[in-house]
């Protein structure tokens, strides 16, 4: 005895197949869940790098401000970090 599939049953099977195919594409496609996870990891790493760059920028900006404003800081940088002048020499700073 063969059964004839009624239209509702055909539509139900078609929708089930469509849902399964949609989930497969959602998970494994280029813009799917796996790609989204990779991109989220990349965003987190980028934010960490950005924060480090901002900290470095703030430190360098502060050093530049100190160098421009503070004569003693200039002397310290010239003596210790740049190594241009010996301890017994004098430093003359000319303003522009």
4-16 pLDDT, tens digit each:
667 778 888 888 9
Extents of the domains making up the chain: 7-81
Asked if residue 30 has pLDDT above 50, the reply is yes
* Global pTM value: 0.50
Q: Phi/psi at 13 (nearest 5 deg)?
A: -65, -45
* Reported confidence tier of residue 1, pLDDT bands at 50, 70, 90: very low
* Reported confidence tier of residue 86, pLDDT bands at 50, 70, 90: low
Nearest C-alpha neighbor of 95 from the set 73, 61, 68, 66: 68
């Amino acid at each position: 005895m063969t059964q004839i599939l009624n239209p509702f049953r055909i539509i139900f099977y078609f929708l089930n197949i469509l849902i399964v195919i949609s989930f497969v594409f959602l998970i494994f496609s280029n813009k799917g869940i796996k790609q989204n996870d990779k991109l989220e990891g990349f965003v987190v790493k980028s934010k960490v790098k950005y924060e480090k760059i901002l900290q470095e920028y703030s430190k360098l900006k502060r050093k530049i401000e100190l160098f421009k404003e503070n004569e003693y800081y200039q002397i310290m940088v010239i003596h210790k970090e740049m190594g241009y002048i010996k301890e017994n020499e004098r430093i003359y700073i000319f303003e522009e």
